[in-house]
Structure 1
Amino acid sequence: MDAEQNLESNNYTNAQYNADIDELKIRWSHAEIKESDSVSPGVTLDYDTEGNVIGIEILNASQKIKNFNR
């Protein structure tokens, strides 16, 4: 199974881009965010109560993601 099929079979994936502040948020779960961890400047991972990564927030997304289209 390739990565694209994997995402399509997921029950929940939500991506939001805020152009005013150049912020991209992606969530893979409805689960409550238990904790967040800054993994590099402007990149934060969100974790559920079991320690699973359930989201990512990227500040200055258009500068950090190659070929990112607003």
Structure 2
Amino acid sequence: MKVKYDKETDILYIKLSEEKIEESDQDKKGFILDYSKSGNLVGIEILNASKSSLNPTKVEYEVA
């Protein structure tokens, strides 16, 4: 998994897989979901990330 934040465009992208993106759908306003040919979720694009409840400059993760 890779997480990338672009300050200029204010877009946070979470890449879940190296599979090629075949289709993208805007699930809810400001969220674009990328899918592979087989229907697997490949990535999540969050538009206007700094204006949402997220803090795109601080990413925390937990391993259980």
TM range (shorter): 0.7 to 0.9
Higher helix share: 1
The percentage of counterpart residues that share the same residue type is 40
TM-score, scaled to structure 1: 0.74
**Highest relative contact order (Cα 8 Å, sep 6+), 1 or 2?**
2
* Superposed CA RMSD: 1.2
Q: CA deviation at 1:21?
A: 1.3
Larger radius of gyration: 1
Q: What is the CA–CA distance in structure 1 between the aligned matches of 2:37 and 2:18, rounded to whole Å?
A: 12
Q: Which runs of 4+ in 1 moved over 2 A?
A: none
Residue type of the partner of 2:22?
K
Structure 1's 60 and 40: CA in aligned 2 closer, same or farther, altered over 3 A? same
Long gaps (5+) in structure 2: 58-64
Corresponding residue number in structure 2 for 1:50: 38
